Amino acid sequence: MGDDPSEILTALSRHLHAIDQRDPRSVEDSFAEDAQVIYSGFDAGQSRQSILEYLRRAGGFDGEKWGASTHA
């Protein structure tokens, strides 16, 4: 992905849609292999796999725990 704002917006939209759909495979695909993420001050890891595992442990793919989400 380059620095084109439309490419960035498209990638972000796909990521947020994957989160809303509770789709771990698509969420995983939205991160680079060496991604680093901090959610609300908590280090979610420094790889795509560790971020996905963090989200799983946090209940990110369990609609019962987090409830519905809609990113607009």
User: From CA 39, how far away is CA 69, in angstroms rounded?
Assistant: 16
What is the per-residue pLDDT across 3-52, written as a single tens digit (0 to 9) for each? 799 999 999 999 999 988 889 999 999 999 999 999 889 999 999 999 99
**Is the CB of residue 20 less than 8 Å from the CB of residue 69?**
yes
pLDDT exceeds cutoff 70 at 1: no
pTM value > 0.85: no
Strand partners, 39: 42
The pLDDT tens digits for 49-72 are 999 999 888 887 876 676 777 776
Domain parsing of the chain, residue ranges: 5-61
